[in-house]
Amino acid sequence: MESEYIYHVTTQSEWEQAKLKGEYQPTQFEQEGFIHCSVEKQVAGVLDRFYKGQTNLVKLKIEKAKVQRPLLFELATDLDELFPHIYGSLNLDSVVEVINIG
């Protein structure tokens, strides 16, 4: 059964800035055009590939039904896996939990 949640890893400071702005957009959004997300079982691999050695990270638990921008599952060809991508800013009320991951 498909989960109703997706996840996004960011820094504590980027999340704090989002709360001040009223929406979330990661720093690399301008270049990439979407927000990278994962399903729960993909989070460990994302942390391993992109965040090794980084601290002050949080995992945003996002309720898919509340996301107000287009949400598409797209193929990461190097991994042959589908990953959820949000095309636009993330509305903060779709984040149901912020989990500190160190």
Q: Where exactly are the structural domains of the chain?
A: 5-100
Specify the residue for token string 């509305």.
91
Over the stretch 38-74, which tens digit does the pLDDT of each residue have?
A: 999 999 999 999 999 999 999 999 999 999 999 999 9
Tens of pLDDT, residue by residue over 11-35, are 999 999 999 999 999 988 999 999 9
Read off the tokens for 5: 């949640």
Neighbouring-strand partners of residue 35? 86
The pTM for the full model equals 0.94
How many CB atoms lie under 10 A from the CB of residue 46?
Answer: 17
Fold of 5-100: ADP-ribosylation fold (3.20.170)
